[in-house]
Amino acid sequence: MTLKLKQGLWLWAGALALMLLVIIPLGGWGRVTVAMIVVGCVALACVRAARQRQLLGSVDNLTLPPAAYRHPVVMVCGDGLAGLFGGSCTDHPALRLTEQGCYLRVSRAEQLPGLIDTVMALRPEWGGQLSVMFIVNPGEHSDAAVLAGQVRTFSYQAGLIRKRGIALPLILVSYLQSSASKEAWFSWEAGQGHCNIRQAGACLMPNDWHRLPADNATCTLRLQASIQLNSAAAWLDEYVLPHFATREDRLPAGLPLVCASTFVSTLPGYMTGNLWQQWLRGKTGLLDTDAQVQALDAPLPFPDPLLNLLPVQARHLPMRRASVIALWLFAVAAIVALTSSAWQNTLLLRQVSDDLLRYASIAPTERRDQPEFALREEALSVLREDAVRLDSYYRQGEPLALGLGLYRGEQLRAGLLSTIANHRQPSVAPMPARTARTVRLDSLSLFSSASAQLKPESTKVLIDALVGIKAQPGWLIVIAGHTDAVGSDEHNLQLSRARAAAVREWMQRMGGIPDSCFAVQGFGKSQPIASNDTEAGRQANRRVDIRLVPEVGACALPTAGADVHPPVANAAFLVLRKGASHGNSHTPVADR
């Protein structure tokens, strides 16, 4: 994948993560912190992708085939690299192009993952063309433990590459030094129990190969080659193949797709007393007559006839691969967003439903002083907050955290508003009707006969009356005088008014009550309460009535000062109605 596509994918992933931050409910600082982490990770990934170009210097000096190259690209590891690529075996890769494929030298197995990454960075289209060839020459090894370590190291590195999603088919190749038949490749393919001989573009079974017309010397070489191949195959089964699938390796590469061998007249690195000779001596008691040390620069043939066995996978263009990854990232982000929205809607429904149940569980009260009244009002205020929240979602649209087609708050809004509308406050108990109470004073205890002047001994009676009046400050005080039926109506009317005025003046002077708080009336004989035919009846009719009329604020009493000490009230009087006109307190009266 190209650098631009990698950076584009990282930016796409960062944008999706930031969009999720808008949907997933987080606190203010938490949202800012996560956003900074996302931006930092995306920036770091883009910088690392850009710096990856610096790691490509190891193949910058090579002329790789163009991106449209469609033949197998084989990484070559193991023995005999000098005979294949020439020169000394250094850590720098070398490249050889043949008619059937492209070969890249990997000097050490540890370099294989890095070289694969480099090639994929330069040629991302080659992902389905890459394969690896591991060479094990029996004549170049004298220590079985060292050979086992090399095979396991290569198997582990190949497993790392396959873990990244690159198939990397494996070919196991052995070059056998012998004077037997040359220019033929002998292969054992996975799943087949026989050997195939590939020579001059043909693939033959062993029997067919031996039947080919040839002279006696050639037939003898073919028989010798068959025997050596069987021995080589048995040696590989014992010393090499078990290490490709051992359970001790964390990432085994698995068995090779193809095992192949060919005969060469000279083998670079061939040593006397190698494992091959030891194995032949132990199994057959024979010596390898071709054993000799050869020149290091002897060329070895590339296994071109075997390359058609390598599966070339359908190549995925980098843009297509990047598009698939981008779609997967979007799918994952969409799943996370939908999951978060569903959970937030569940919490919303749970909260509003619990608030409704809490309100419904509190029984209505008949009075405000009951403890359930405060609890019910508190639950109602919570319902009103929920209603305001849901109503704002209805009018302005639900937030993204609850949206994405999963919003379910509307199904509760109507019921919530109905519950609030049906709430009724407990009725307020009406105040008991307050009625006026009349203080009735006997005229004979206040006045002398036919007189409107208060007697000295009347003070106690008037003080008791004043105490009751002061208990209802600010109310209108109506003082009405009454007489019996003896005498003329005019005289009785004047006398009743004069006595009422005398009582008012005393109370105003002694109680510090403003004049506006009084109303004086004289009714004469017009309102008797007993019969005037008897002395007892006439005595009852001679009276002064004091009524408190319910006029709150009708008059304002002065605030008690240092020189005014009004009596303390010890009784309460209820109010009925307002009185009428004032009268005169100094009017001559007849003797009654």
- The per-residue pLDDT for 246 is 64
Show me where the domains of the chain are located.
3-50, 71-307, 321-421, 438-549
The pLDDT tens digits for 238-248 are: 889 888 876 55
Q: How many CA atoms lie within 13 A of 571 on its CB side?
A: 13
Is residue 480 within 8 A of residue 545, CB to CB? The reply is yes
Look at the pTM and tell me if it is higher than 0.85.
no
Instruction: Please give the mean pLDDT across all residues of the chain.
Output: 79
φ/ψ region of 75 (left if φ > 0, alpha if ψ in -120 to 50, else beta) reads: beta
Which contiguous run of DSSP H or E holds residue 538? helix 535-541
Structure tokens at 503: 């009582």
Q: How far apart are CA 222 and CA 216, in angstroms?
A: 10
Q: Which of 252-261, 381-390, 479-488 has the lowest mean pLDDT?
A: 252-261
Is residue 544 within 8 A of residue 503, CB to CB? The reply is yes
* C-alpha distance from residue 276 to each of 145, 270, 310 (Å): 14, 10, 28
Q: How far apart are CA 179 and CA 146, in angstroms?
A: 28
DSSP state letters, 400-430: TTT-TT---THHHHHHHHHHHHT--PPPPPP
75: β partners: 104, 132
- Evaluate if residue 416 carries a pLDDT over 90: no
The one-character DSSP state at 58 is: G
Q: How far apart are CA 15 and CA 167, in angstroms?
A: 32
- The per-residue pLDDT for 539 is 84
Q: How far apart are CA 52 and CA 58, in angstroms?
A: 12
When the candidates are 2.60.120.380, 3.30.420.40, 3.30.1330.60, 3.40.250.10, the CATH number that belongs to 438-549 is 3.30.1330.60
CA dihedral of 140, 146, 148, 149, whole degrees rounded to 10: -130
The pLDDT tens digits for 278-303 are: 887 877 665 555 554 444 456 889 99
Give the percent of the chain with pLDDT over 70. 81
- The per-residue pLDDT for 433 is 54
Q: Which of 57-66, 298-307, 366-375, 575-584 has the lowest mean pLDDT?
A: 575-584
The one-character DSSP state at 566 is: P
- Evaluate if residue 468 carries a pLDDT over 70: yes
- The per-residue pLDDT for 55 is 52
Average pLDDT estimate for 425-449? 67
**Phi (first) and psi of residue 105, to 5 degrees:** -80, 135
Structure tokens at 59: 């193949």
Q: How far apart are CA 292 and CA 194, in angstroms?
A: 31
CB proximity list for 194: less than 8 A, separation 6 or greater:
188, 205, 206
Taken in order 577, 581, 582, 588, the sign of the CA dihedral is: negative
The pLDDT tens digits for 357-370 are: 988 888 888 777 77
3-class secondary structure per residue, 25-41: CCCHHHHHHHHHHHHHH
Q: How far apart are CA 92 and CA 114, in angstroms?
A: 12
227: β partners: none
- The per-residue pLDDT for 97 is 92
496-524 burial: b if 16+ Cβ within 10 Å, else e: bbbbbbbbbbbbeeebbbeeebbbbbbbb
